[in-house]
Structure 1
């Protein structure tokens, strides 16, 4: 333990490590709630209430869409408001608490109260997504320009491995506790909320808002004025705008593969246990490779490392055409794990290098919008291709076009030698 503390102290400042630990803290939500526990529990609750399987799936889809839409619309406004002195950390705290206590609330829902459960899930998704806007932008306040790639990569890496531990604990409770299935799910909700809250404490303690705009007399009104000016003049921020376009396309491909992988595995006949094992393997593989991408970016540059990650996804789409067995699927899952965290983390840090520090929350609001709405295009492309050909794997192959468009646009993005928009040409 002493050796681990010494390693961390030498490698990261207190602020950097507290920021990294927030990824460790909140990643439990995406694995435990979004992916593993909630969808199955919601199916059980709706079934108890006499709701058909098709309707329950539709309602869950609507809830996800509503949460995504609300956060995407609010993101730039919240970001602009959070740029004012003393605003970001309270807004982060309230978003986090909404997420955490919505998960806690799920523990007290009756076995047939599916509407209340769905409202709590929607609130938790909004809290989780909103808190990430403020979290992502705060990287500007915890580290230097030249360390941004490695710190962002460490955040994703520790987030992946951090979500595995509570999930394994949940599986142990499920296998060995002797509790009924409903009680096990309640324990899962408690583990998620407690993990998220406890490991957010270092962020609350050490991460302070250092880059800001002085608060005007009417912050809300002024936020809308600033936001409108940014939208009106976004074309003047050439490198930021070009990067966001590139990001829109290639992260669309990444997000579509993440969202559709389980469905494709099911189409291949893989059972639930096999898919859970593969999911854990992806998380574990993503940890060291996220850190490796941060290291590699120091050697060959952020953009070149991003191209390697995007190229890996192109290879995944091509190899998907030959998927036949469990081992084939496992191999591609491992490949996804090698690239997933690296592409996401370096995109975040590259964007941070392109924007002005005192408007980081506002600009990360736009970053959030492009990330949220991008998944619409990829899933639609995959679905149409799969229907036309009758093969879901052909749909995966069609995503190559998104990665290629994103790569071409990224090629023309100029990375500044020092932080700020003043470097744009």
Structure 2
């Protein structure tokens, strides 16, 4: 059995907390949004949800490099982390307030910005909480325990939504809104230990008497220096470009699955239960991916997951029509989702300077978030233009193939760890 240090364990537990909100956002929230957005067609609902995902991803991508550079100053990382975490938490609770479709979508977008921004700083903490040798294992454990741990509040929310009207006499919509309160409380509970124990080991020291203006000037000059450093490192730039493309497929499949399934007419109960199964499948799969990376190499395992996702997208576009097929899709996603995310995070952490990890992860986040922007934008535009959600999903397959080709061109792609 794997033994963690106290800090590693608390870092992993934040994944347990935030994953509950991620699971809520990818399952119940799109269904709730569809329910309050009465009168819209299936294509309009998918397009509106994709636009919300696009805006949230775009804002995070624009903010993170600059804020990431500022966070690399000793002691700043935890401050930015707490700020965005609290923003997301407050807006998570705010979504429990009865409101129309547009105000709800705005609240959702701001909550998502807070959540995803906090996760960028959280990812950068990985270099502070563990060593290079343990990084794959710790990163994979975060995703694994996040998947299984997030199911606890999710099951409570499902029991409330489906059982509340009959057993407690509560309205279904009220029970759904209470899910935001339950999920927010869970997120808070698993964040406090990390906030209390985290200490930034690597960072830039602030010069004596250094003013805020000087710090900002240094931040932008540092960003320029980092961009030059990345441009000179062929392996790093090719990997980041590959990540830009392949993670698009991963994020888009995750964020659009429930909305897409609902548009195909699949019962909402089946959608939610299938995604719950995804979490349980993802738990051992993410752990296994961390162990397999130690045996076969991190890069090889990332390549294997991208190939699998190409097949998943083809299946979703051409074969997905019934609830049974959606269950198959959910299981397939669970097998590879955690592994590719965890190893992408840890592989990048091994390539970058530790004292500037947040700045580098800020750029890494640009590639991830702009990929999400491109994927959801493609789904939105093609679905709206053709009236076919199937064609919208198919469009992201091109990006996965480009990412795969770039991964295969990395130096020593078949032997590099």
Q: 1:269 to 1:282 in 2, by over 3 A?
A: same
Residues 79-118 of structure 1 mapped to structure 2, 5 A cutoff? 79-107=68-96, 109=97, 111-112=98-99, 117-118=104-105
Task: Tell me how far 1:259 sits from its aligned partner.
Answer: 3.1
Cα distance in 2, alignment partners of residues 144 and 279 from structure 1: 33
Whether the aligned pair in 2 keeps the contact of 1:75 and 1:365 (CA below 8 Å) is yes
Residues 224-235 of structure 1 mapped to structure 2, 5 A cutoff? 224-235=220-231
Alignment pair present for 1:328 and 2:320: no
Cα distance in 2, alignment partners of residues 117 and 387 from structure 1: 22
Q: 1:306 to 1:385 in 2, by over 3 A?
A: same
Q: 1:397 to 1:184 in 2, by over 3 A?
A: closer
Alignment pair present for 1:408 and 2:395: no
Alignment pair present for 1:239 and 2:235: yes
Give the aligned partner of residue 20 of structure 2: 28
Length, aligned pairs only? 402
TM-score, normalising length: structure 1: 0.85
Give the aligned partner of residue 133 of structure 1: 120
Alignment pair present for 1:188 and 2:184: no
Whether the aligned pair in 2 keeps the contact of 1:239 and 1:354 (CA below 8 Å) is no
Among 244, 265, 271, the residue aligned to 2:267: 271
Cα distance in 1, alignment partners of residues 50 and 358 from structure 2: 28
TM-score, normalising length: structure 2: 0.87
Give the aligned partner of residue 310 of structure 2: 314
Task: Tell me how far 1:66 sits from its aligned partner.
Answer: 3.2
Give the aligned partner of residue 351 of structure 1: 348
Cα distance in 2, alignment partners of residues 197 and 29 from structure 1: 11
Give the aligned partner of residue 366 of structure 2: 369
Q: 1:191 to 1:232 in 2, by over 3 A?
A: same
Cα distance in 2, alignment partners of residues 126 and 139 from structure 1: 21
Among 93, 117, 132, the residue aligned to 1:145: 132
Q: 1:37 to 1:394 in 2, by over 3 A?
A: closer
User: Unaligned 5+ residue runs, structure 1?
Assistant: 1-6, 417-422
Alignment pair present for 1:14 and 2:16: no
Task: Tell me how far 1:40 sits from its aligned partner.
Answer: 4.3
Post-superposition Cα deviations, 1:7-66, rounded to whole Å, max 9, x if no partner, equal 5xx52111111111111111111122x23444444455566xxxx637887766554443
Q: 1:147 to 1:236 in 2, by over 3 A?
A: same
Whether the aligned pair in 2 keeps the contact of 1:254 and 1:340 (CA below 8 Å) is yes
Give the aligned partner of residue 158 of structure 2: 171
Among 210, 216, 222, the residue aligned to 2:201: 210
Post-superposition Cα deviations, 1:105-157, rounded to whole Å, max 9, x if no partner, equal 334x3x34666544433331221111111100000011110111111111111
Cα distance in 2, alignment partners of residues 14 and 347 from structure 1: 24
Which secondary structure state, in structure 1, belongs to the residue aligned with residue 201 of structure 2? coil
Cα distance in 2, alignment partners of residues 415 and 360 from structure 1: 24
Whether the aligned pair in 1 keeps the contact of 2:7 and 2:198 (CA below 8 Å) is yes
Cα distance in 2, alignment partners of residues 313 and 283 from structure 1: 17
Task: Tell me how far 1:254 sits from its aligned partner.
Answer: 1.7
Q: 1:385 to 1:186 in 2, by over 3 A?
A: closer
User: Unaligned 5+ residue runs, structure 2?
Assistant: none
Whether the aligned pair in 2 keeps the contact of 1:46 and 1:112 (CA below 8 Å) is no
Task: Tell me how far 1:395 sits from its aligned partner.
Answer: 5.4
Give the aligned partner of residue 259 of structure 1: 255
Task: Tell me how far 1:262 sits from its aligned partner.
Answer: 2.8
Greater shift in the superposed pair: 249-258 or 334-343: 249-258
Q: 1:271 to 1:182 in 2, by over 3 A?
A: closer
Which secondary structure state, in structure 1, belongs to the residue aligned with residue 85 of structure 2? helix
Structure number with higher relative contact order (C-alpha < 8 Å, ≥ 6 residues apart) = 2
Whether the aligned pair in 2 keeps the contact of 1:353 and 1:415 (CA below 8 Å) is no
Q: 1:262 to 1:124 in 2, by over 3 A?
A: closer
Q: 1:188 to 1:326 in 2, by over 3 A?
A: closer
Give the aligned partner of residue 289 of structure 1: 285
